Structure formats: structure tokens, C-alpha cells
């Protein structure tokens, strides 16, 4: 009879599922603590018994790992709670602490790298009757699949529903466990915007560095602040050898953040650590942890990954050990060189970034002769530290000029702050256009082709639609067959620009016309003219998941057969997201692990229980490490956990 009396106390009576530590397992930052909380319930049916008018509920729960998907170790436990149906509003009840604050009870905790690996949460629910007189009445059993943070509802037959909240709490101190570089797919590119409307693609920058500098260096450190900056990294480390490090503020398909009038958060954090002689990898780790717009900047990780800033790091050789002005072993380099690039610096943020990085270099002993600043319109921009304009040609010249200065004792530091572009591309096209009639342009890669249509990546479409400040375009890179003498030998341009003016590109049936074209010298690592990129502006609302592209030439008199080497569908210039677009801050729900801290109160607030004075610890399935192998062998069979055979 004593047991019945204790159970009737209208509070949670439960045993705690202890915190469980799983092995950290990439693929992604941040490192997270997963918290599974029981936050409330709905009694669909009046189950109050006749003895005391209250309902006592017993729940056996099991966290069931899914073979091949789960990184969790699993857990199993039991808890009780009591309520009076007549006091509930719509049958709904929540849990509160002694101060009247809504709280959740932690069923389960574990740590891993994002994303949340899938597992099942199984409830077996009984209504408790008087021990020794009546057996417990089964309410039912069911499970739900947990695959992300958020709110879930677990329904048991037609009698009860249970509210479950899953939180992902970033663990800053464990960030090194979840470092991961997102390699950019072959069908995507990132690019840097320039002052004169041309673009520097990731493969072009890598080819410039390869053709003019190659392996002739002590180490090279690259820091990219712009949106989609992570896409620059994979081409650089693939093309170059030696000690190289690349730090970027964003993933290849993600955004970077800034302030309207001061240094961007990622750049600020990196500079602070480089000034204190941190290595490239330590500077990155510290910046990732302390970046207020990064994955560790909020108390809860928002699964909308593209909205947050996701810094990236990758290195080659001993590049991660490099510090500014020194070799990877800490010794002095013979000399050092820096290129700072800010193409279309139309916001004070970009100038603040350049000046902060310039000041860092000066504090490390770099002279003005060691630093080349290419930004906006160049010297006419009114900044005395600027050496030239932020154009592709100026960058080409600066890298070429370094070729005579670089050797195995030289360090190159390269910093970019600017707008960034994200492109969906087909580089394997090599389509020959022999006549001017309208004809389809179809990608060669299966990943982006459906029939004769272009299928665009969802992350690309998300990036395209996030801001109205970008101006999308389609770039067609053309090359003329060698037997056609169409070039002016002195300018390297077509003898008659009218040829390009008469090209029409059709996108989903709408005609598009050339805005301008640019020479391309770095499609490969030979320093010669490779072709021309013709830019066609396109309205954003024309770009869909699946798209048709066609090309024609309007004037037979000026037509010359040509090859289409490359097609890029671009978001256009996307600026750093600024603090006025700051994502909503999600907060951890107050929670308890000690039942004595809990009270239960229905939504009507008409009933408040007395504090729990005693604990009745029910039978508990231990979830400590010594017994977790048993839990790991569970699987769901007909909706219930069973030992897998």
C-alpha cells in the first residue's frame, strides 16, 4: 500500500537516464550535445481511476540505435508521473519547476558531430493500478524516428500523446573533434567579384598560382572572407604542392557574415590569433569557436545550415603549422609577400577588413614593398595603401610579378574580402556549334542533367533566393577552332566584336543577350589566351530546379564556328550577410535531471502539486558504458525493441 501512496503524489517519479558519451564521428561541425527532453503530454481519454480520481502513468522508454545509421550508444529507463484529467485544459499538461517556469525532463543525452544520427525513441506506457490488487493496464506502445533537432509527438494508441523536444547544443570545447572540410562537387564553382564586372573563378585562381608560382615557396596561407569562399580551397590544394593552408569564412555553398561598418567576425577572430603568433590551424579553430555567426555562436544549433556561417579549413603538407611571417617549423623566412584583394568594395565592411589585415601584416614586420593591395578602383579610391584596382587583370599581373621573387624560402599570404558568387557548371561540355540555328546546350555530367535539361542543386537555389541584392547571370566560355584566324594579333580580341553581340542564349524559352565578355587566360596552366566568357544576365525568377538552355546566332554574315568549353549558371554577386539579418536565436529549454526539482502543473494553472518529498526508483535498465553493448544490439521488430538475432 505504501508504494501506491507514493505513486499517487502528483509529481514526476522517475529515474534519470544518465548522460551517454558517444564517439565523435564526422562528417560535420559543430560538435553537439544531443538532449532528448520530455516536455509535456496530452491525455486524449479520461483514464482517472475511481479510487483517487487521478491517473498514474508508467513509461518504459528505450533509445534504440539503428544499425548503419546511429552513432548513439542507446539507453533504457523508466519513469512515472501523475495527473488529474479533470484539471487539464484539453487534456494537455506541461512540467514546471518550483518557481513556475516550464521545464523539460532530460530522458537522454549524448555527444557527436552534426548532423544528428538517426535513432528510434520507443515508449511502452502503462496505467498503474494498486499493487497486489489490480494489474497495471497497458496503454500501448509506439516509437518515433529521431533524425534532427526539433519538436516531436509520440502518440500511443488513441489514449495519449507525448511531447518530445530534441536539442543540439554546440560544444565549443570539442570543436576540434568535428573539423570537416566540405569538398565542392565537380559541377559547382565559386568565384570572386571584381571591379570591372568580370569574375575570378576558383579554378582560374588555382591555375594562376600554379603557372606563376607552382611549388616555389616555403609556405602559402590563404584567407577568404567572401560568401561561398570554401569553394576556392579545394582547387588550390589540388593544384599546388608543399605547405599550404586555406581558411575560409564559409562553405562552398554557404554564406559569410559581416557588419555594415566594421571588421567581419571571422576575419576579426583570425587576425586576433595570427597577431598572437597562432598557427594557421589554431587561428582557424579559435575563429570557428568564437565567430558569433558561426556554428558555435548560439546556444542551440540551427539546422538551417546555410544561414549560419560555416568556416572551413584545409591544409597540404605542414601548412597548418605556418604562422604569419615564418616557416612551418617556426624559423624566419627569407622574405614574405602578401596580396590583399577586394574587388568591388562597395561597403565600409570590406575596407575595414582590408585595413585590419594590412595592420596585422605591418605589425609582423611586412613592409609596403611586401604588400600588394588590389581593391575597388585602385589609387583613385582615395586609400593611400591601395596599389591597384580590384580586377582580374591586376591580380594576374600581381601573381605573375611574384614569380620572379618567390623561392623555397619565401612565404605568400593571400587575403580576399569581397562579394562571392556560386556557380552550377558543366565543364565537360565541349559542344561544337557549326551553324547559327537555335540548338540545345545540354550538360554532359549526369549529376546535373535530366534529358536535355539542367537540374540545379538545391543549395544553389537556396543561395540564389536568399537575397535580392545579387544579379544572376549565365556565362558561356567559347573557343574558336585554330583554323579560323579571327583574332587581332595586337589585342588578342576578335576582329569583329559583332560576332559576340549577335549571340542569343535562350533560357527556359526567354531570349538573353550578351552584356559583356572577358578574355580567359587561366582555363589551364599555360599562360595564353584560352577563350572568351560571354556574360548573359538572367532574371532570378527564370531560374528553376529544371531548366532548358539553347543558343543561336542572329547574323550569318558574322558567324564563325566555335566550341562551347564551359557553361556556368551563377547566383551573381552575393554580399556578406550583415547583422541586420541576424538569424533568430534559439535557446536551450530549462531542464532538470533531478526529479526533486520538478512539479507538474496543467495548462489551466488551476492545480499545483506539492514538492516531491520521496523518490520511488522503479526498475531501471542501466545505460552506463558497461552495459551499452546490449542496448546497441536492439532493433525495432513490430514496433517494439527486441534483441537483434
The mean of the pLDDT values for the chain is 82
96 in Cβ contact with 614 (< 8 Å) = no
pLDDT of residue 310 exceeding 80, the answer is: yes
Q: Phi then psi for 231, rounded to 5 degrees? A: -70, -15
Q: What is the rounded CA–CA span in Å between residue 357 and residue 364?
A: 11
399 in Cβ contact with 206 (< 8 Å) = no
% of the chain residues with pLDDT over 70: 81
pTM comes to 0.84
Count of C-beta atoms within a 10 Å radius of residue 196: 15
Extended beta strands in 225-357, E state? 244-248, 257-258, 312-316, 335-342
Instruction: Give the model confidence (pLDDT) of 36-95 as tens digits.
Output: 999 999 998 887 665 556 788 889 999 988 888 877 778 888 888 888 887 777 778 888
Top-confidence residue, 313 or 70: 313
Average pLDDT over residues 354-370: 96
Greatest CA separation for the chain = 104
Say whether 38 sits in a helix, a strand or coil.
strand
Extended beta strands in 304-405, E state? 312-316, 335-342, 371-375
- pLDDT at residue 625, rounded to an integer: 29
| Contacts by residues 45-52 (CB-CB < 8 Å, ≥ 24 positions apart) | 45/158, 45/159, 45/160, 46/85, 46/86, 47/85, 47/127, 47/139, 47/159, 48/84, 48/85, 48/86, 49/127, 49/129, 51/130, 52/8
Task: Locate 344 and state its grid cell.
Answer: 568591388
Of the ranges 278-282, 385-389, 411-415, 480-484, which one carries the lowest mean pLDDT score? 480-484
DSSP state of 251: -
Q: What is the rounded CA–CA span in Å between residue 448 and residue 149?
A: 30
- pLDDT at residue 494, rounded to an integer: 57
- pLDDT at residue 551, rounded to an integer: 97
pLDDT of residue 527 exceeding 60, the answer is: yes
Top-confidence residue, 499 or 620: 499
- pLDDT at residue 355, rounded to an integer: 97
- pLDDT at residue 229, rounded to an integer: 95
Instruction: Give the model confidence (pLDDT) of 107-133 as tens digits.
Output: 999 899 988 889 999 999 998 876 555
Count of C-beta atoms within a 10 Å radius of residue 238: 12
Top-confidence residue, 220 or 613: 220
pLDDT of residue 600 exceeding 50, the answer is: no
Top-confidence residue, 12 or 558: 558
Q: What is the rounded CA–CA span in Å between residue 120 and residue 66?
A: 7
- pLDDT at residue 537, rounded to an integer: 97
Residues with Cβ < 8 Å from 376, sequence gap 6 or more? Answer: 195, 342, 343, 344, 345, 346, 386, 389, 390
Residues in the chain: 645
pLDDT band of 525, cuts 50, 70, 90: very high
Average pLDDT over residues 229-251: 95
- pLDDT at residue 27, rounded to an integer: 65
Top-confidence residue, 5 or 67: 67
pLDDT of residue 470 exceeding 80, the answer is: yes
Which is nearest to 566 in space by CA: 167, 188, 88, 242? 188
- pLDDT at residue 582, rounded to an integer: 54
pLDDT band of 370, cuts 50, 70, 90: very high
- pLDDT at residue 74, rounded to an integer: 81
Q: What is the rounded CA–CA span in Å between residue 473 and residue 470?
A: 10
β-pair partners for 188: 424
pLDDT of residue 278 exceeding 90, the answer is: yes
DSSP state of 186: T
- pLDDT at residue 162, rounded to an integer: 95
pLDDT of residue 3 exceeding 50, the answer is: no
DSSP state of 332: B
176 in Cβ contact with 208 (< 8 Å) = no
Q: What is the rounded CA–CA span in Å between residue 34 and residue 540?
A: 39
pLDDT band of 188, cuts 50, 70, 90: very high
Could you give the angle at which helices 202-212 and 230-239 cross, rounded to 10 degrees?
30
Q: Phi then psi for 334, rounded to 5 degrees? A: -60, -45
Could you give the angle at which helices 348-363 and 265-275 cross, rounded to 10 degrees?
10
Say whether 26 sits in a helix, a strand or coil.
coil
User: Rg (Cα) of the chain, in Å, rounded?
Assistant: 31
Q: What is the rounded CA–CA span in Å between residue 454 and residue 508?
A: 10
- pLDDT at residue 493, rounded to an integer: 57
Q: What is the rounded CA–CA span in Å between residue 63 and residue 77?
A: 9
198 in Cβ contact with 518 (< 8 Å) = yes
Instruction: Give the model confidence (pLDDT) of 530-583 as tens digits.
Output: 888 999 999 999 999 999 999 999 988 888 889 999 999 999 988 888 765 555
The top-scoring range by mean pLDDT among 53-62, 473-482, 504-513 is 504-513
Task: Locate 468 and state its grid cell.
Answer: 535580392
Residues with Cβ < 8 Å from 440, sequence gap 6 or more? Answer: 452, 548, 549, 550
Q: What is the rounded CA–CA span in Å between residue 8 and residue 583?
A: 45
- pLDDT at residue 4, rounded to an integer: 25
Q: What is the rounded CA–CA span in Å between residue 598 and residue 439?
A: 71
Q: What is the rounded CA–CA span in Å between residue 600 and residue 82?
A: 8
Task: Locate 510 and state its grid cell.
Answer: 526567354
From first CA to last CA, the distance across the chain in angstroms is 41
> What's the 3-state SS for 420-455?
EEEEEEECCCCEEECCCCCEECCCCCHHHEECCEEE
- pLDDT at residue 264, rounded to an integer: 95
154 in Cβ contact with 142 (< 8 Å) = yes
∠ CA 146-150-153, rounded to 5°: 65
pLDDT band of 17, cuts 50, 70, 90: very low
Which is nearest to 237 in space by CA: 159, 173, 317, 343? 317
Which is nearest to 34 in space by CA: 163, 150, 175? 150
- pLDDT at residue 592, rounded to an integer: 60
DSSP state of 524: S
Amino acid at each position: 500500500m505504501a508504494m501506491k501512496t507514493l505513486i499517487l503524489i502528483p509529481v514526476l517519479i522517475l529515474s534519470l537516464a544518465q548522460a551517454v558519451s558517444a564517439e565523435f564521428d564526422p562528417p560535420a561541425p559543430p560538435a553537439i550535445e544531443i538532449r532528448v527532453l520530455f516536455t509535456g503530454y496530452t491525455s486524449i481519454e479520461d483514464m482517472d481511476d475511481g479510487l483517487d480520481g487521478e491517473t498514474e502513468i508508467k513509461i518504459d522508454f528505450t533509445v534504440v540505435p539503428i544499425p548503419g545509421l546511429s552513432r548513439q550508444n542507446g539507453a533504457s529507463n523508466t519513469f512515472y508521473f501523475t495527473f488529474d484529467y479533470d484539471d487539464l485544459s484539453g487534456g494537455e499538461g506541461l512540467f514546471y519547476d518550483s518557481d513556475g517556469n516550464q521545464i523539460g525532463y532530460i530522458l537522454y543525452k549524448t555527444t557527436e558531430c552534426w548532423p544528428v544520427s538517426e535513432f528510434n525513441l520507443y515508449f511502452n506506457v502503462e496505467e498503474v493500478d494498486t499493487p497486489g490488487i489490480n494489474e497495471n493496464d497497458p496503454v500501448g506502445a509506439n516509437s518515433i524516428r529521431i533524425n534532427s533537432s526539433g519538436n516531436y509527438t509520440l502518440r500511443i494508441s488513441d489514449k495519449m500523446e507525448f511531447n518530445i523536444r530534441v536539442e543540439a547544443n554546440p560544444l565549443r570545447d570539442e570543436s576540434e573533434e568535428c573539423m570537416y572540410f566540405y569538398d565542392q562537387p565537380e559541377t559547382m564553382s565559386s568565384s570572386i567579384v571584381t571591379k570591372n564586372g568580370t569574375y575570378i573563378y576558383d579554378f582560374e585562381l588555382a591555375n594562376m598560382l600554379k603557372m606563376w608560382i607552382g611549388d616555389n615557396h616555403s609556405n602559402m596561407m590563404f584567407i577568404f572572407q567572401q560568401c561561398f569562399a570554401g569553394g576556392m580551397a579545394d582547387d588550390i590544394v589540388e593544384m599546388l604542392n608543399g605547405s599550404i593552408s586555406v581558411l575560409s569564412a564559409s562553405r562552398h555553398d554557404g554564406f559569410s557574415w559581416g557588419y555594415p561598418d566594421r571588421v567581419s567576425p571571422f576575419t576579426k577572430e583570425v587576425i586576433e590569433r595570427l597577431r598572437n603568433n597562432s598557427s594557421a590551424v589554431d587561428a582557424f579553430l579559435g575563429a570557428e569557436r568564437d565567430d558569433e555567426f558561426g556554428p558555435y555562436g548560439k546556444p542551440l544549433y540551427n539546422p538551417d545550415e546555410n544561414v549560419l556561417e560555416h568556416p572551413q579549413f584545409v591544409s597540404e603538407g605542414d601548412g597548418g603549422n605556418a604562422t604569419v611571417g615564418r616557416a612551418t617549423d617556426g624559423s624566419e623566412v627569407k622574405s614574405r609577400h602578401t596580396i590583399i584583394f577586394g574587388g568591388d568594395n562597395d561597403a565600409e565592411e570590406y575596407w575595414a577588413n582590408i585595413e585590419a589585415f594590412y595592420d596585422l601584416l605591418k605589425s609582423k614586420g611586412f613592409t609596403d614593398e611586401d604588400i600588394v593591395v588590389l581593391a575597388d578602383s585602385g589609387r583613385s579610391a582615395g586609400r593611400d595603401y591601395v596599389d591597384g584596382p580590384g580586377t582580374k587583370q591586376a591580380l594576374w599581373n600581381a601573381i605573375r610579378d611574384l614569380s620572379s621573387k618567390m623561392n623555397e624560402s619565401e612565404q605568400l599570404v593571400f587575403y580576399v574580402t569581397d562579394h562571392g558568387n556560386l556557380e552550377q557548371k558543366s565543364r565537360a561540355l565541349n559542344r561544337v556549334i557549326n551553324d547559327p540555328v537555335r540548338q540545345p546546350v545540354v550538360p554532359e555530367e549526369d549529376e546535373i542533367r535530366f534529358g536535355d535539361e539542367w537540374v540545379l542543386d538545391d543549395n544553389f537555389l537556396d543561395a540564389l533566393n536568399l537575397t535580392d541584392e545579387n544579379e544572376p547571370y549565365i556565362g558561356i566560355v567559347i573557343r574558336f577552332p585554330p583554323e579560323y584566324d579571327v583574332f587581332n594579333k595586337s589585342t588578342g580580341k576578335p576582329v569583329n566584336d559583332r560576332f559576340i553581340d549577335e549571340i542569343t542564349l535562350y533560357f527556359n524559352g526567354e531570349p538573353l543577350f550578351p552584356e559583356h565578355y572577358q578574355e580567359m587566360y587561366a582555363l589551364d596552366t599555360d599562360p595564353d589566351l584560352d577563350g572568351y566568357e560571354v556574360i548573359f544576365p538572367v532574371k532570378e525568377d527564370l531560374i528553376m530546379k529544371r531548366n532548358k538552355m539553347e543558343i543561336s546566332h542572329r547574323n550569318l554574315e558574322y558567324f564563325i564556328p566555335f566550341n562551347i568549353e564551359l557553361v556556368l549558371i551563377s547566383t551573381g554577386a552575393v554580399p556578406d550577410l550583415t547583422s541586420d539579418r541576424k538569424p533568430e536565436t534559439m535557446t536551450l529549454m530549462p531542464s532538470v535531471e533531478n526529479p526533486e526539482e520538478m512539479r507538474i502543473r496543467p495548462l489551466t494553472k488551476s492545480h499545483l502539486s506539492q514538492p516531491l518529498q520521496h523518490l520511488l526508483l522503479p526498475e531501471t535498465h542501466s545505460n552506463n558504458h558497461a552495459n551499452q553493448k546490449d542496448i546497441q544490439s536492439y532493433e525495432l521488430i513490430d514496433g517494439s525493441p527486441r534483441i537483434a538475432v
